[in-house]
Chains A and B, each alone.
Chain A
Amino acid sequence: MLTLILLLIPLFASLIALFFKGESVKWFSFIISIFQLVFTLYIYFVFSSINDGLDKEITQSIKDSLSINIDWINSPNINFNIGLDGMSLLMVFLTNLLMPLIILSGLNKNQERPQILYSLMLLMNFALIGVFVSFDGFLYYIFWELALIPIYFIALNWGGPNRATVTLKFFIYTLAGSLLMLFGFLYLYWATPSHNLSWVDLTVNHICSCKQGFIFWMFFLAFAIKIPIIPFHTWQPDTYSTAPTQGTMLLSGIMLKMGLYSLLRWLLPVVPNGVAEYTPYVIALCFIGVVYASVIAIMQTDIKKLFAYSSIAHVGLIAGGIFALNMQGFQGALIQMLAHGINVVGLFYCAEIIISRTGTSDINSLGGIRVLSPRFAMYFLIIVLGSVALPLTNGFIGEFMLLFGLFEYHSWAGFIAGLTIILGAVYMLRMYQKVMLGDVNENVTVFENLKWNEELILAIIAILIFAFGVFPKPVLELVEPIASHIFKLSFIK
């Protein structure tokens, strides 16, 4: 019941938002998203109160309040099956944490038809939460596809130059992957003896290992396009630069986590033989992607494209860590998903602040902003260091565990993963030096002080970076049970 409420609030809010006129819709959406965040924290406390010491009945009633399984369609057998476990709750928390920040970032912007924009953002919130709480394959698929529609329209209507072609490429590329996943689900439905797509059944009744390789690729291609993993990444840099900042934050902060989450939820436990067969290739692909994206990022002069490629590099590492198939890999991936979500939203917001004030995104024509706005320089530095994975920041915990997991898989894998951290430091610090440090460039004559909402967002992100960096224990405890469950499921019986 609680989960259903969490899912439906953004949907109803999205419909109500259509009727607002003018700027008040932004406040309405902000209040709704704060309420969602508080509700998510409440659910977290309910969830974490389940421990071994509790009475069986109370545990069961808590579990019942968190999940629903209603018969939706009889034939084919599809149920409205939503629920929460550690992984889902973490992702829902990330979504609801980033949503107020994203909405807050639009407060001082002059956007036309804001009621439609915020309605679409709330609709996207609904679809994203739906992806993370679905435990039935078909329901999950519906939410996965549904999430594509609002972001497409946000990017098409409020985006930058050349948005028609770029967003169309993004839409069709992602849809192509989703349709391959549909084929995979259809196959699984008829191939498993129990004839349904519920997660529990799919992870227990595996199809014969001869076909698992094929189904693995059907699913993996869909996720690889979403994450993205090289060579399926070509839609991403253009889309991230062309979309409006809020769209980019939604895409990079939350939507790509859909792909990573799905690897853990719908790929590893469902086709473990296929995974085992192709893991070396996938890890190789991830590493090629990481190194390639990092090298391109080093060469980039456009700040948004640089962040886009850095995002590819980071998520390539996370995906590689997942395929290392050990507990450190899984836990590191989950923590890093949270950290990357927060950091990349921070990065793109800083890029937006710079671009909106100086009118250019070329790092060569920027410089010395630190002199003009030292507070912004401080926040930006914290976010950059979080992205570089300096110890005490949230990025460090995740990267460290991922490196550990990859090293356990194969020492060379650990070595190459370690390279990524070095390369990441290279492009990030170089970018920071060029943009913020040094002499004030003649293009940057005046740099307004940060407005209240900008400072609030940056401060919150900076606090979160340190908070999760110093005290990651709640997150680790949250994801440990589900990570070990998936670890057990991912092994060939």
Chain B
Amino acid sequence: MNTLIYTACLGLFGLLAEIFNFRKYLIPILVLGLAIIFSLNLQTWNHPQTHFNGMLTDSNFSTAFSGLALFIMLVILILSTDFYSSTDDEKHISDYMAILMFTLCGALMMFSYANMAMLFLGIETLSISLYVMAGSRRFEVKSNEAGFKYFLMGSFASAFLLFGIALIFGVTGTFSIDGIGAYMRMHADSLDPRFIVGMLLMVFAMLFKVSAAPFHFWSPDVYEGAPTLITALMSTLVKIAAFAAFYKLVSVCFVFAMGKAELILTFSCAATLLIGNLVALVQDNFKRLLAYSGISHAGYMMLAILSLQGSTDSALFLYSVGYAVASLAAFAIAITVFKATDTESISGFNGLGKKNPFLAACLTMAMLSLAGIPPFAGFFGKYFIFSEAFRNGYEQMVFLAIISSIIGVFYYMKVIVAMYSKPANEFEIKPTFSYQMVIVVCLILSLVLGLYPGVFTKLL
């Protein structure tokens, strides 16, 4: 909870910076602040506590995921120094930074909630901040479209969430997730149909947030239209936060009731895997490709939501870390290439192998990690999630996930092939130092995690 308060303070600092016109050292101060908060966060490890009368808890689960969220935001801030370099951006930089900090607050609330009200607050804070950031390029039509679509559809999903919470409150009489879990255990054999309906509504809302099929339609358009840095944030932080919140919700409140929702979740998982991978095959725009690949990754993470027993939370965490570092590296390279070639299509990567072999090698590693090929972290994440799903009896889903992996390799390889075998275009592509550092650090993390994934497998 201290993490949450400190992050909110950083957000307030950003707002104050806007008022007092202090833009010069804003980002370095925020980066330093986040680094300090990261180390303070580690102190809550193995110190479970509840705060505010059972509203927020500190547990290993929340500490681990909060650490990951802080890391992601740190990287995004470092990348934003060069991303927001035009004069129009310069005027609003402290607003953007403040909103990013509040996004992080929302995510932190989604990890450590112990009460439905906190879950809703967290989701809303995260989402509303992102509605603004997705539409932050005011003079681009696509950005406006992205913000508007995200806002409309996201609000609709939040309405579902509220409706579900209200129904469950009506049945159980409490908002606390432990209380709801206790009610579910007592009445596991004869659950009130209103409880089940409430649960399903909440599940649908969470499926929307993680962009699982058939609620994924907002995702490609919003990812494509938003500024690329915000897309990076959405595809990493939001997905991970939503999955962590979803996992916590289901594993604490709805475990025995999941039998009712199993058919829906299985169908959703299968559809997500297939749609994500199949539609990504025909994409030309790199951001849209990453959006659909993100949808397919949501499908793999859904296997964790299905299986729930054993060390599935560690597997989910490991997968999230592997996915986050690879995605951040890929987006950092994408931002560099988009800036230099002024296009977002995959043809902007043509010939990168010859023009800038280092960058091409880094993007290759990021793509291979996302595709799930050893020795990168993405492979281990996939393997552990498959292993946990197998153990809990979902063999057919694992088989389907493996088939989808095979399909998935095609579009990741499309980018790699474009880099190495298509003739080079005339743009010169040179990433700035901070971008190079971010890319290298993320890929080293991916390789280290690939060499020693044991660090995270029995974590939670």
Contacts and interface: CB of A to CB of B under 8 A. Distances in A.
A145 B374 contact: yes
A72 B383 contact: no
B373 A73 contact: no
B402 A180 contact: yes
B374 A75 contact: no
Given A153-B420, A183-B402, A175 B409 contact: yes
A240 interface: no
B420 A73 contact: no
Contacts of B383: 138, 182, 186
Given A76-B384, A175-B373, A182-B402, A190 B390 contact: yes
B402 A171 contact: no
A229 to B, nearest CB: 19
Contacts of A175: 373, 406, 409
A142 interface: yes
B409 A172 contact: yes
B410 interface: yes
B402 A190 contact: no
A145 B383 CA distance: 13
Nearest to A71: B454
A186 B374 contact: no
A157 B353 contact: yes
A42 interface: no
B187 interface: no
A72 B453 CA distance: 9
Given A73-B457, A75-B457, A172-B413, A149 B368 contact: yes
Contacts of A149: 368, 373
A164 interface: yes
Interface in A143-196: 145-146, 148-149, 153, 156-157, 163-164, 168, 171-172, 175-176, 179-180, 182-183, 186-187, 189-190
Contacts of B421: 156, 163-164
Contacts of A148: 373
Contacts of B368: 149
A41 B353 CA distance: 39
Interface stretch (B62-70, B231-239, B284-292, B391-399): B391-399
B454 A171 contact: no
Contacts of A153: 420
The B contact surface, by secondary structure, is helix
Interface string A72-88: 11111000000000000
Contact of B387 (A116, A145, A186): A186
Interface residues of A, number: 32
Interface in B434-460: 452-454, 457-458
Contacts of B341: none
B176 interface: no
B375 A146 contact: yes
A283 B395 CA distance: 30
Nearest to A177: B406
A490 B391 CA distance: 28
B89 to A, nearest CB: 38
Contact of B454 (A74, A163, A182): A74
Contacts, number: 77
B457 A168 contact: no
B317 interface: no
B458 A74 contact: yes
A73 B417 contact: no
B251 interface: no
Contact of A168 (B373, B391, B417): B417
B373 to A, nearest CB: 6
B311 interface: yes
Given A186-B390, A187-B390, A74 B402 contact: no
Q: Which of B357, B374, B409 has the most CB of A within 10 A?
A: B374
A183 B397 CA distance: 11
Contacts of A176: 406
Contacts of B398: 183, 186
A38 to B, nearest CB: 28
Given A74-B454, A75-B311, A186-B398, A172 B390 contact: no
A156 B420 CA distance: 7
Contacts of A183: 398-399, 402
B356 to A, nearest CB: 13
A179 B406 CA distance: 7
Nearest to B392: A190
Contacts of A182: 383, 386, 402
Contacts of B353: 157
B158 interface: no
Nearest to B456: A73
B405 interface: yes
Given A75-B311, A153-B420, A157-B353, A187 B410 contact: no
B373 A145 contact: yes
Interface in B107-136: none
Contacts of A180: 402
Contacts of B357: 113, 116
Nearest to A163: B421
A141 B386 CA distance: 15
Contacts of A74: 454, 457-458
A113 B361 CA distance: 14
Contacts of B406: 172, 175-176, 179
A175 B416 CA distance: 16
Interface in A421-436: none
Contact of A75 (B395, B403, B410, B458): B458
A178 to B, nearest CB: 9
A287 B42 CA distance: 62
A440 to B, nearest CB: 38
B326 to A, nearest CB: 15
B420 A190 contact: no
A216 to B, nearest CB: 16
Nearest to B417: A164
Q: Which of A138, A171, A179 has the most CB of B within 10 A?
A: A179
A74 B452 CA distance: 11
A34 to B, nearest CB: 27
Contacts of B458: 74-75
B405 A73 contact: no
Contacts of B391: 190
Contacts of A146: 374-375
A189 B403 CA distance: 20
B414 to A, nearest CB: 8
A72 B454 CA distance: 7
Contacts of B422: 164
19 contacts: A74-B457, A74-B458, A75-B311, A75-B314, A76-B384, A76-B387, A76-B457, A116-B357, A141-B374, A142-B374, A142-B375, A146-B374, A149-B373, A153-B420, A157-B353, A168-B410, A172-B410, A182-B386, A187-B390
Top 3 nearest A-B pairs (CB, nearest first) are A164-B421, A73-B454, A142-B374
Interface of A: 72-76, 113, 116, 138, 141-142, 145-146, 148-149, 153, 156-157, 163-164, 168, 171-172, 175-176, 179-180, 182-183, 186-187, 189-190
Given A142-B379, A145-B373, 6 more contacts: A72-B454, A142-B374, A168-B413, A171-B413, A172-B406, A182-B402
